[in-house]
C-alpha cells in the first residue's frame, strides 16, 4: 500500500498536479495541499489562540505600517480591516476565539465576494473594449488593443 501511495505521489508531482498545475491550483481545490487537507482532519486556529493572535497581529501590524499594503487593506478588504480595527472585535480574539473567527470569516467572505464582483466587471469591460477594436476593423487579427494584462488577472 505504501508503494502504491508513493507511486501516486511521484506521478502527481511529475504531472504537475501536486504543484497545482492543471489540478485546480491555489484556491481551486486541486494539488497536493488539497490532497493532504482531505486526509488530515481540520484543526481550529483557536486550539492555540495565543500563537494565532500573535501571528495575526503581526500580519496586520506589518501591513498597516507599509503604506501600499495598508492602502490595499483599506480599499480591497474594507470589512476585514474594519473588523480588525474594532477594539471590541479584536478583544474577542483572546476572550472568545470561536466568535472572533466566525465574524472574521464573515468579513473576509464579504470582501472576497466584492472582489469577485469587481473582477467580473473588469473582465467584461475589458472584453468589450477588445471587441470594439475587432468590430471597428472587421478583423479578428491583432490590433493595438490586444495586449496581455501585466498583472495576469482575468
pLDDT tens string 96-106: 999 999 999 99
Alpha carbon distance 73, 84 (integer Å): 11
**Averaged over 130-138, what is the pLDDT?**
85
Task: Say whether pLDDT at 107 is over 90.
Answer: yes
Question: Would 121 be classed as within a structural domain?
Answer: yes
Question: Is residue 96 within 8 Å of residue 88, measured between CB atoms?
Answer: no
Of the chain, the percentage scoring pLDDT greater than 70 comes to 75
Instruction: Compute CA 120 distance to the chain's CA centroid, rounded to the nearest angstrom.
Output: 15
Alpha carbon distance 28, 100 (integer Å): 26
Q: 84: which 3 cell numbers?
A: 480588525
Question: Would 10 be classed as within a structural domain?
Answer: no
**Averaged over 136-148, what is the pLDDT?**
79
Question: Is residue 32 within 8 Å of residue 18, measured between CB atoms?
Answer: yes
Question: Would 13 be classed as within a structural domain?
Answer: no
Place of cell 497545482: 20
**Averaged over 130-147, what is the pLDDT?**
82
Question: Would 153 be classed as within a structural domain?
Answer: no
Question: Is residue 26 within 8 Å of residue 32, measured between CB atoms?
Answer: no
Question: Would 23 be classed as within a structural domain?
Answer: no
Task: Say whether pLDDT at 14 is over 50.
Answer: no
Question: Would 6 be classed as within a structural domain?
Answer: no
Question: Would 109 be classed as within a structural domain?
Answer: yes
Alpha carbon distance 101, 56 (integer Å): 12
Of the chain, the percentage scoring pLDDT greater than 90 comes to 47
pLDDT classification of 30: cutoffs 50, 70, 90 = low
**Averaged over 77-99, what is the pLDDT?**
94
What's the pLDDT at 78?
95
Of 45-59, 60-74, 76-90, 134-148, the one with minimum mean pLDDT is 134-148
> For residue 69, what are the domain limits?
50-137
Question: Would 94 be classed as within a structural domain?
Answer: yes
Q: 30: which 3 cell numbers?
A: 486541486
Q: What end-to-end distance do the CA atoms of the chain give, in Å?
A: 42
Its pTM surpasses 0.85: no
Query: What is the total count of domains within the chain?
Result: 1
Amino acid at each position: 500500500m505504501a508503494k502504491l501511495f508513493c507511486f501516486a505521489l511521484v506521478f502527481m508531482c511529475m504531472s504537475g498536479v501536486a504543484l497545482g498545475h492543471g489540478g485546480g491550483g491555489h484556491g481551486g481545490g486541486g494539488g497536493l495541499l488539497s490532497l493532504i487537507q482531505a486526509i488530515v482532519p481540520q484543526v481550529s486556529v483557536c486550539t492555540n489562540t495565543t500563537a494565532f493572535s500573535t501571528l495575526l497581529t503581526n500580519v496586520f501590524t506589518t501591513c498597516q505600517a507599509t503604506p501600499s499594503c495598508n492602502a490595499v487593506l483599506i480599499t480591497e478588504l474594507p470589512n476585514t480591516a474594519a473588523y480588525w480595527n474594532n477594539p471590541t472585535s479584536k478583544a474577542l480574539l483572546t476572550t472568545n476565539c470561536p466568535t472572533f473567527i466566525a465574524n472574521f470569516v464573515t468579513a473576509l467572505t464579504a470582501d472576497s465576494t466584492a472582489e469577485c464582483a469587481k473582477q467580473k466587471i473588469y473582465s467584461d469591460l475589458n472584453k468589450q473594449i477588445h471587441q470594439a477594436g475587432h468590430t471597428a476593423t472587421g478583423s479578428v487579427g491583432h490590433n493595438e488593443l490586444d495586449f496581455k494584462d501585466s498583472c495576469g488577472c482575468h
